[in-house]
Chain A
Amino acid sequence: MLIKVAHPHPIKSSEITPEAVHTDRRRFLRQMGLVTAGAALAGYGRTEPTTAEANLAPLNVVRKSEMAGGENVTAYADITHYNNFYEFGSAKEDPARNAGRLRTRPWSVVVDGECEAPGRIDIDELLKPQALEERIYRHRCVEAWSMVAPWIGLPLSDLLKRFKPTSKAKYVAFTTLYDPKQMPETARGVLSWPYREGLRIDEAMHPLAFLSVGLYGRVLPNQDGAPLRLTLPWKYGFKSIKSIVRIQFTEWQPETTWNQLAPQEYGFYSNVNPAVDHPRWSQAQERRLGELFKRKTLMFNGYPEVASLYSRMDLRSQF
């Protein structure tokens, strides 16, 4: 299903410059010596993928949807070198450096709990019947930075329905891989591993909820959650769990990692909400990667179509 979102300045996906051309333009500009100190501070001139990332397989998509209000897509180098993936270190540059150790094939996902067709499925089997599409989404981190990324993947609901959740399936719980051999940084125990996240079933079935396997036309780089991650554009980034190995339908609200660590700071829902501050910092504004000054944060990160999911809830207490 394609979701139509009305935007004041829509841009057709066909009008978006392909990555290769975009990259080449940067190189041309640099060769011309036109990169000024000001532009340098703004973070321009760093879009070219490294050799390792250029080796990632390109993906074919059946459809492209621009769903970020026509805002500029964040540079590939920024999306892949500014990550929160604590299994590979807690500094933003750590995952790009350390996630090379992650083996994404063979990879299987266990689907179990309140469903009629549970099982352990190989990732390639899982993806074979699914047509991939590209969606350009805003991404807002709870730390008040944000980006716009062109994800490739499939609606989460398409995948979940294949396992026939029963009427008892009120929630969906997700688990990230926990392998200390591939993730030696987990030995420091900053979080309680494995990383866990969860959604109410109606949130998980919402057409905006997306499962990503690719970025910028290619397979996901490891540091961005390969081979399979959630992409929930209306929620703070930590809800979009990476490198998923287990999906479980549950009757009760599942434990989630950040909520467990600091329940007063990170709620189960964690919808982007400029009116509800983090106890230690404001959520009214955010800094877009590649920009210097902050911009206003939008309710549900600019995706009002999810509001009906929470119509009977007090978003101040159930943040």
Chain B
Amino acid sequence: MNRLLPWRVAAWALGIIPLVFAVKWTVQSRLGPNPVEFLEHYTGDWTLRLLLTTLGMTPLRMLTRLTEPIRVRRILGLWTFAFLCLHFSMYLIFDLSFSVAQLAEDLVKRTYITLGFTAWLMLLSLAVTSTTAWQRRLKRRWITLHQLIYPAAILGAIHYLWLVKADTREPLIYLAILLILLAFRLPWSQLVSRWRLRTSAILKPCDPPD
């Protein structure tokens, strides 16, 4: 438990610190000439950053063989969802003024909204079933369900790329990091790690098998 504590603190800090800054800048009127746009971009950026961090835990475990990254994954995932909800509420409140008709129009006409909304629905189902009770109830299907994080992340990155006018550098950086993190899950990366295990087994025969 003590070894997990700094990991838990770090995971909570990753969610709380950007939130504290958002509140601080709002109160201090430091959001710039277009505060709504600032907060929409800020919460969207942090959703993607936290999502990429969550997806980085499995590769981190593969590289370090520590189990702690996996044990803070839920905290990171829920913070991702919290920022996504803030992002979505900014849009619902200030862009749509709660108009359901306009939301429907956007969902049909604007592909980047469709993608973002679909990603929100996916993460909503993951957040709801994130408890240990749901984990037990769904058993092996829980793992299948929670693989929805992969399409959700891809949709999120494309959602950002789609709305940029000309300077695609930042969304492409997010997309590139995502693809690298996803690449760790592909069969060839298993082959590589198997190869790594074999060579390290030769060097350190006492290591337990992964």
Tally of contact residues, A, Cβ under 8 A: 35
Q: Tell me if B's interface is mostly helix, strand, loop or mixed.
A: helix
* Whole-angstrom CA separation of A42 from B26 in the bound complex: 9
Q: Is the CB of B167 within 8 A of A190?
A: yes
Choose among B36, B106, B163, B169 the residue that contacts A292 (Cβ–Cβ < 8 A). B36
Q: Is B117 an interface residue (CB 8 A)?
A: no
Contacts known (A86-B166, A293-B94, A294-B97); A40 close to B26, Cβ less than 8 A: yes
Q: List, in ascending order, chain A residues with CB within 8 A of B3's CB.
A: none
Q: Is B132 an interface residue (CB 8 A)?
A: no
Choose among B31, B97, B112, B166 the residue that contacts A280 (Cβ–Cβ < 8 A). B112
Q: Is A70 an interface residue (CB 8 A)?
A: no
Instruction: Bits for B87-124, please: 1 = Cβ < 8 Å to A, else 0.
Output: 00000001101000000011001111000000000000
Nearest chain-B residue to A277 (Cβ)?
Answer: B109
Q: List, in ascending order, chain A residues with CB within 8 A of B29's CB.
A: 35, 39-41, 43-46
Q: Is A19 an interface residue (CB 8 A)?
A: no
* Whole-angstrom CA separation of A27 from B106 in the bound complex: 42
Q: Is the CB of A287 within 8 A of B36?
A: yes
* Whole-angstrom CA separation of A202 from B165 in the bound complex: 30
Q: Is A5 an interface residue (CB 8 A)?
A: no
Tally of contact residues, B, Cβ under 8 A: 26
Choose among A90, A92, A190, A280 the residue that contacts B34 (Cβ–Cβ < 8 A). A92
Nearest chain-B residue to A291 (Cβ)?
Answer: B36
Q: Is the CB of B162 within 8 A of A42?
A: no
Instruction: Bits for A188-232, please: 1 = Cβ < 8 Å to B, else 0.
Output: 101100000000000000000000000000000000000000000
A-B residue pairs in contact (CB < 8 Å), sample of 26:
A35-B29, A37-B26, A37-B27, A40-B28, A40-B29, A41-B26, A41-B31, A43-B34, A45-B29, A81-B33, A82-B32, A86-B167, A90-B166, A90-B167, A145-B37, A190-B166, A190-B167, A281-B110, A282-B105, A282-B106, A282-B109, A287-B36, A287-B37, A292-B36, A294-B94, A294-B95
B residues with CB within 8 A of A: 26-29, 31-37, 94-95, 97, 105-106, 109-112, 162-163, 165-167, 169
A residues with CB within 8 A of B: 35, 37, 39-46, 75, 77-78, 81-82, 86, 90, 92-93, 143, 145, 188, 190-191, 261, 277, 280-282, 287, 289-290, 292-294
4 closest Cβ contacts across the A-B interface?
Answer: A40-B29, A78-B33, A90-B167, A82-B33
Contacts A86-B166, A294-B95 given; 5 further ones with Cβ under 8 A? Answer: A40-B29, A43-B32, A43-B33, A93-B32, A294-B97
